[in-house]
Amino acid sequence: MEMNQYIEVFIDESKEHLQAINDHLLILEKNPRDLTIVNEIFRSAHTLKGMSATMGYQDLSDLTHKMENVLDAVRNEQLLVDEGVLDIVFHAVDDLEAMVLDIVDGGDGERNVEEAVRMLEAVESGGQQSPKTTTSAGNERKPELFLDDYTKNVIKMAEESGSHPLLVHTHLRNDCLLKAARVYMIFEVLEQAGEVVHAAPPVESLENEEFESSFTVLLITQESAEGIKTAIEKISEVDYVHVEPFKEKETQPPEGPQVQSQAEISDESAQKTKKSTPRGRTIRVNIERLDALMNLFEELVIDRGRLEQISSDLAHQDLQETVEHMTRTSSDLQSIILNMRMVPVEQVFNRFPRMVRQLSKDLHKRLELTISGAETELDRTVIDEIGDPLVHLIRNAVDHGIESPEVRESKGKPAAGQIELKAYHSGNHVFIEITDDGAGIDRTKVAGKAVKNQLVTQEQAETMSDSQVFDLIMESGFSTADQISDISGRGVGLDVVKSTIESLGGIITIESEYGEGSRFSIQLPLTLSIISVMLVEVQKETYAIPLSSIIETAVVKKEDLMNAHNRKVMDFRGRVIPLIFLTELLQVPEELEEKDDYSVVIVRRGEKMAALVVHSFIGQQEVVLKSLGDYLSGAFAISGATILGDGQVALILDSNALIK
């Protein structure tokens, strides 16, 4: 029986076990003598090993077995846990994660893990070797070899004549000065042993030293792999050599010769779940099926609106009662479907403790990360998109915000910088906050850079509020960094973060006190597919404005309006806000006469507000947000469309774009 039917469950459970291993390793780092934590890590590793072997992923199983040996030595008190041991185990976990990702992408989970195995064996035998002092070759992906038909025929003919193809992976020392000379010497050895038929990178790149430290060669020879490895290792400044038989990568997932039920595959995992979570019956559902269910329900919402319109027009009592019951039932169904799509932000937050640990080492800063509200749930669509912006914001906080331990102590702060990642619900929104107690944002420096880049004038900069100045750091290409680093992006700035969040219907705001720290707050909608809107008429056309951006509606008399900077403005609770005439902006045909007053919808984007001038208000309604597709995706200030109860299509306005 093929194992393909189990692949999705295997991938899901492997990710869960690897995440559990990562989480417990971080806890173990703070409590190195707590053997109960070691037992939890060992249990996850043991289950992962068994699952991998059952599915036929032997490399994955073998590496997990090596890591299991180290953990077994720790729990039997034959080995003490310290930073060096943890670094090596984390190094192995990185390889395991890369192998699982390869399986996700349709690969066979193979990876060069000799370096990780060597370090684990060294730890187990007592001769610990930290990844800091060893090569990173074992952590590098082997260059892909793309062979043409001619080369494949050469290999086939060689095999028929008694030769065999070998892949020779060589890694030079990082401090090697004459890489091209070492490459020449290695090729001399290889050509004495056989025929080099392919190299990655190409030979020309190797001769010009256009590679980092490692390269791969395909050799046809009659020599043994061990003999070739020994010959190359004799060349000075060669740090690492691995020789293996060449095999063309299979396109089909491996089939296991034996059959094992899914209950048996994940028996230990099930036992662990029983202990840690309330008993309940659950099943895994592919997200594509939930998307299909959501699309069908969206059509039902459109038909529901149509029936409500018809029953209202006909004024038929039985029909109205039936439609009201259908509305209540479909509302309950909507709530269930939306809840099915909701997943905890923990799925995104889980990666950050490990990331902060590595950043602490890379930047030589002491960092403490606190996470709260990880159980807060968001729509799966939002979860898939929010990860990268959060990574950038945390890297930005660590790189630009948190000072070095020496600087912090000179300011009277604790040596360890504090970063807090927090999520919570509020109304129909989820808020995610990243707070640090670092240097904060220098208003003067930001304003000066903005004036220099001609984003604002000197006069404007002097009259702007702090929040308005801080918003400038999210403009395209804006960066106040004195030196560009790989940690928070090569001068990319926060504009990508801002655009991603706004594309999800969210808002990002910044608070900061110079010398004390900063807070980046992200407001996101719970779901992106069904939204509450205010329907309005602009001349004879109907538009929808999301309720999440509306402060209130009002009717203002023309004589109460004022002029400023050649445009109409109005007084709203002591603030002067501009009027945006949708008839002009959207080029709507003028068929109705102007009235003596204006109906306005006051909308907000962060601290900025504007009044959208419409002709009348229709009312509040829940609508299905439909994409306009690629052809109309660039339409200004339009975020999508919806179908109303009478079958009419209404465009949904993007108030963020209108205010901007």
**Tens digit of pLDDT for each residue in 103-142?**
888 888 888 888 888 888 888 876 444 444 333 444 444 5
Question: How many beta carbons lie within 10 A of that of residue 67, not counting itself?
Answer: 28
pLDDT at 279: 39
Phi-psi group of 104: left, alpha or beta (phi > 0 → left; psi -120 to 50 → alpha; rest → beta): alpha
CATH 3.30.565.10 is right for the domain spanning 344-480+490-525: yes
Question: Which phi and psi (to 5°) does residue 393 adopt?
Answer: -65, -40
Same fold, 149-245 and 530-658: no
Q: What would the pLDDT profile of 515-560 be if each residue is shown by its tens digit?
A: 899 999 998 887 767 778 899 999 889 999 988 788 899 998 888 8
* Number of other residues whose CB lies within 10 A of the CB of residue 245: 9
Every domain of the chain and the residues it spans: 1-124, 149-245, 344-480+490-525, 530-658
For 79, 363, 511, the CA distances from 492, given in Å and listed in that order, are 45, 19, 21
The three-state secondary structure class of 54 is helix
Q: How far apart are CA 327 and CA 310, in angstroms?
A: 14
Query: Which residue matches tokens 């291993």?
Result: 21
Six token digits for residue 633? 């995706």
Has 68 been annotated as catalytic? Answer: yes
User: What is the topology classification, in CATH, of domain 1-124?
Assistant: Four Helix Bundle (Hemerythrin (Met), subunit A) (1.20.120)
- For residue 660, the model assigns a pLDDT of 67
pLDDT under 70: residue ranges of the chain:
1-5, 126-146, 148-150, 248-284, 427-428, 477, 479-493, 528, 606, 630, 633, 660
Q: How far apart are CA 518 and CA 509, in angstroms?
A: 11
Give the tokens for residue 9. Answer: 């469950």
- The greatest distance separating any two alpha carbons of the chain, rounded to the nearest whole angstrom, comes to 97
pLDDT given at position 437? 93
Question: Catalytic pick from 68, 115, 385, 403?
Answer: 68
How far, in Å, CA of 390 to CA of 396, rounded?
A: 10
Q: In terms of C-beta distances under 8 Å and separation of at least 24 residues, what long-range contacts does 256-265 make, across chains too? A: 256/3, 256/54, 256/55, 256/56, 258/54, 259/1, 260/54, 262/6, 262/9, 265/6, 265/9, 265/10, 265/50, 265/51, 265/54, 265/55
Cα distances (angstroms) measured from residue 207 to each of 177, 181, 613: 14, 8, 68
Indicate which residue of 39, 46, 164, 537 is catalytic: 46
Pairwise CA distance, residues 223 & 252, whole Å: 31
Q: 427's torsion region: left (phi>0), alpha (psi -120 to 50) or beta?
A: left
- Provide CB contacts within 8 A for 304, sequence distance 6+: 323, 326, 327, 330
Helix 267-276 vs helix 35-55: angle between axes, to the nearest 10 degrees?
140
Side chain identity at 114, as an amino acid letter?
Answer: E
Residues 6+ apart with CB under 8 A from 612: 536, 545, 580, 582, 600, 601, 602, 603, 653, 655, 658
User: What is the third-level CATH fold of 530-658?
Assistant: OB fold (Dihydrolipoamide Acetyltransferase, E2P) (2.40.50)
Q: Which CATH architecture has domain 149-245?
A: 2-Layer Sandwich (3.30)
Structure tokens at 253: 């997932």
Task: Spot the catalytic one: 22, 112, 139, 396.
Answer: 396
Residues contacting residue 442 through CB under 8 Å, at least 6 positions apart? 480, 514
Catalytic residue flag (residue 244): no
The identity of residue 390, as a single letter, is L
CB 640 within 8 A of CB 625: yes
Q: Is 576 exposed, middle or buried (0-12, 13-18, 19+ CB in 10 A)?
A: exposed
Say what the pLDDT of residue 480 is.
Answer: 56
Q: Using an 8 Å Cβ cutoff, are 163 and 194 in contact? A: yes
Cβ count within 10 A of residue 50: 19
DSSP annotation of 341 = H
Structure tokens at 329: 């039932």
Phi and psi (nearest 5°) for 566? 65, 30
Q: Which residue, among 249, 250, 248, 189, has the nearest Cα to 221 in the 3D structure?
A: 189
Residues comprising the chain, all counted: 660
